[in-house]
Structure 1
């Protein structure tokens, strides 16, 4: 609830000050606090001091050694601390997780200030208009970076929060190593892990659309995953017998056969839970299963088996027949 209130504070600030993009956060900050850009001896982005202290003007300190886009977000974050009436005292925004105060109240205030800063720099109404006007997520991301004055990762995370289910992003550095990955809420596919290589891109070959853009030494990938996929296999047998055949051809070790079956059934159990939520078709259920299996490298021997598509088609049709 307080997070929504923080967002509303940012919306009201846009309205009250008739802000335009990119928001002049330095000018805005000086309306509410003393502002200084300083060097810090420890790894912090900024400080909001003297908050709600009788007779004292709030002070905002920003780490001047950070990149400009990060300074802008930090400054917007600190403005949030200043204007939200329940944020009091002195708050240090520490980037080193080993130094962060673990109190729940501190973490809650940080989440609220982040929500405020996100709405201030990248207003919901603006992002929604961009999504309505453009289909290419790479184009939208670049517009947000340029007109919002934010970093590519901030733009990416903002889009992730506003997109419907079925989207996944990957950030890859110049060494073709993944540095960040995520998905929109409700997406079935599991994002790859930090440090994974180009194979993670290949595993998403079933995506209906892919959008890419480069920023600095990083390449950003957006994948639109299909709501439905045509069943590719022939359901010409009992799925249990097909799975037995597959695991026995992969390994003769009984314990390994059991483990493979347990992992496969774990994915299929998730598919079964989707049926309980309703509104599933053979094609949509098949898409959900493909997404869940695609990034599970432990099941590669199963999913790359020549009979896997037949097995999955048989299982899907069996699940649908019980609705």
Structure 2
């Protein structure tokens, strides 16, 4: 349960030093990763931002425990966007830090307790003792398509994967115009505004006497759309591919939440007109219900 004692975890794997140095573009240095005979050493720049330092420590721990990382690393953690020198290695360490400090299981508990009340969820994230940017990165990692967060006076816009943003540079007014719901909360004393883009919809339910398989329901939906017979297999493959990523991320989630996310994601699909067909919506609902009970494993 948060807050995670990240310094204690780091000290299990490394010699930890909190030090002063004049280089603002380097938050931490880890050396000795390739030395098997002794612990590596981690030097973290002392600041007046302890929340940021906690993320930096978790980031460096990621470099240590992920076995393919470099023998040494100089790291800079951007407070707004986590810009890094190496887009692969550094992003992996960021993801490790985010998952360690704000665990998926804990986030799942918040979602189960508060559903779509994102104001309450953001308020509870204060207890994880991570920076505002790190908390929003955790939400982006965990939530399904359809959520957008605005922080740092509008300088940072964080959208969950698969969310359809305005074509132009997003602003508070353009985000509000597209949202089905919105609100705000204080996170570490900063105002964070949230927007829900996915619509709250009723989950279709399969009739008791409907014996069709999910594939048969999909094919029936495509046939009723008027698509040429030669195109039906291509549309079916496209539909499965489009929802596949969302389904992998949604294992164990409430079916209604997954269904709403897929409806939002498919609105800009090449075959978005399929969303108006009852059987297609039923197919989506069947897929969402299947992963709620664990028939599709979540990929990490």
Query: Taking structure 2 as the reference length, what is the TM-score of the superposition?
Result: 0.61
CA deviation after TM superposition for structure 1 residue 81, in Å? 1.0
User: Residues 62 and 75 of structure 1 are in contact (CA less than 8 Å); yes or no, is this contact kept in structure 2?
Assistant: yes
Q: Distance in 1 between matches of 2:65 and 2:174?
A: 47
Partner in structure 1 of residue 276 of structure 2: 281
Question: 1:102-141 residue pairs with structure 2 within 5 A?
Answer: 106-134=86-114, 135-141=116-122
1:204 partner SS: helix
* Other-structure match for 2:236: none
Aligned CA distance change for structure 1 residues 131 and 191 (closer, same or farther; 3 Å): farther
DSSP-derived class of the 1:107 partner: coil
Q: 1:25 to 1:276 in 2, by over 3 A?
A: same
The yes-or-no answer on 1:143 pairing with 2:124 is yes
**Alpha-carbon separation, structure 2, partners of 1:111 and 1:167:** 21
Q: How far off is 1:217 after superposition?
A: 6.3
Residue 33 of structure 2 is matched in structure 1 by 51
- Tell me whether 1:84 sits opposite 2:66 in the alignment: yes
Residue 138 (structure 1) shift: 1.9
**Partner Cα separation in structure 2 for residue 101 and residue 203 of structure 1:** 28
Aligned residues: 209
1:185 is matched with which residue: 138, 156, 161?
161
User: In the aligned structure 2, how far is the partner of 1:140 from the partner of 1:44?
Assistant: 32
Match of 2:293 in 1: none
Matched, 1:73 2:55: yes
| CA distances 1:241-296 after superposition (whole Å, capped 9, x unpaired) | xxxxxxxxxxxxxxxxxxxxxxxxxxxxxx996252564239xxxxxxxxxxxxxx
Q: Does 1:214 align with 2:178?
A: no
1:111-148 CA-partner distances (Å, limit 9, x unpaired): 111111111111111111211211311211221221x1
CA distance change for structure 1 residues 128 and 279 in 2, over 3 Å: closer, same or farther?
farther
The farther-off stretch of 183-192 and 37-46 is 183-192
Q: 1:201 Cα deviation (Å)?
A: 3.0
Q: Distance in 2 between matches of 1:88 and 1:192?
A: 39
Look up the match of 2:224.
none
Whether the aligned pair in 2 keeps the contact of 1:183 and 1:191 (CA below 8 Å) is no
- Give the structure with higher Rg (CA): 1
Paired residues for 1:270-309 under 5 Å: 274-276=269-271, 279-281=274-276
Corresponding residue SS for 1:280: helix
TM superposition shift of 1:207: 2.3
Distance of 2:98 and 2:272 partners within structure 1: 33
Q: Against the structure 1 CA distance between its residues 132 and 107, is the aligned structure 2 distance closer, same or farther, given a 3 Å change threshold?
A: same
CA contact (8 A) 1:47 1:92 kept: yes
Comparing 114-123 with 156-165, greater Cα deviation is found at 156-165
The alignment yields a C-alpha RMSD, in angstroms, of 3.1
Residues 195-221 of structure 1: per-residue CA shift (max 9 Å, x gap): x5xxx3365245221120134663211
Pairing 1:28–2:12 present: no
Separation in 1, partners of 2:272, 2:118: 29
Residues in 2 aligned to 1:90 and 1:115: alpha-carbon distance in whole angstroms: 19
Give unmatched runs, 5+ long, in structure 1. 1-19, 230-270, 283-323
User: Under a length normalisation based on structure 1, what TM-score does the superposition of the two structures give?
Assistant: 0.57
